[in-house]
Amino acid sequence: MRVTPQTVREEHAWVRDRAPVVVPILNDARQRLGDLFDTDVDAVTVETYRREVDIVFADGEVAVNVAGYVGVLRDLDVEGDYPGFIVDEVLGRELAATIAGGRPLSLLAQATFHFVDVHVDGGATADDPDRDGGAGTAGSDDLDAALAAGFQTRLPGWEWREGESPFAVESADEA
């Protein structure tokens, strides 16, 4: 795989165009997590997702890495997707973390990736649903789960992310 500025532009367009698949997964994850934590979480629109994709890809250092993960996962397959194959899980987790940003959000996105991944049907998210009897490639469901988890984590809508943190410490100069 060779990643060039053109490759990054192509992956940016692909991730933006993936909104009709990713946004419902993202919103399903928010609903499920909201139910688990007894809180309401704002839904994300296609427009909001696409705007955030643009923001992620506007940072060249992040964009090249996101494009690399996306490209590998789009093409990653293993015969029979045997049970011991984990590289798709590792790449998906890292893609979600890269999209979410620095700590603590990157760690939260990694955990969210695994939560989302168990609810994503590879056949429903595959680029070509007729391929492999509808199962897609080994990386296709992990790619969609990673995009949903990463963007779900970085986007507003969680009450705990709104406003100032109660744990912030004022500097001596501000006091």
pLDDT, position 129:
42
pLDDT, position 109:
96
pLDDT, position 174:
65
Residues 1-5: contacts with CB under 8 Å, at least 24 apart: 1/68, 1/71, 1/72, 1/75, 3/64, 3/67, 3/68, 3/71
What separation in angstroms does the CA of 97 have from each of 91, 123, 145? 10, 24, 12
Q: Name the least confident of 53-57, 98-102, 125-129.
A: 125-129
Is pLDDT at 131 greater than 50 in this prediction?
Answer: no
pLDDT digits over 94-105, tens only? Answer: 999 999 999 999
Is pLDDT at 83 greater than 70 in this prediction?
Answer: no
Hey, what's the torsion of the CAs at 141, 94, 50, 103, to 10 degrees? 140
Q: How confident is the model at residue 175 (pLDDT cuts 50, 70, 90)?
A: low
Q: What pTM, to 2 d.p., does this model score?
A: 0.87
Containing 174, the helix (H) or strand (E) segment is: none
Residues 6+ away with beta carbon under 8 Å from 10: 67
Hey, what's the torsion of the CAs at 92, 94, 96, 98, to 10 degrees? -150
Q: How confident is the model at residue 92 (pLDDT cuts 50, 70, 90)?
A: very high
pLDDT, position 62:
97
CB 97, CB 65: distance < 8 Å: no
pLDDT, position 164:
80
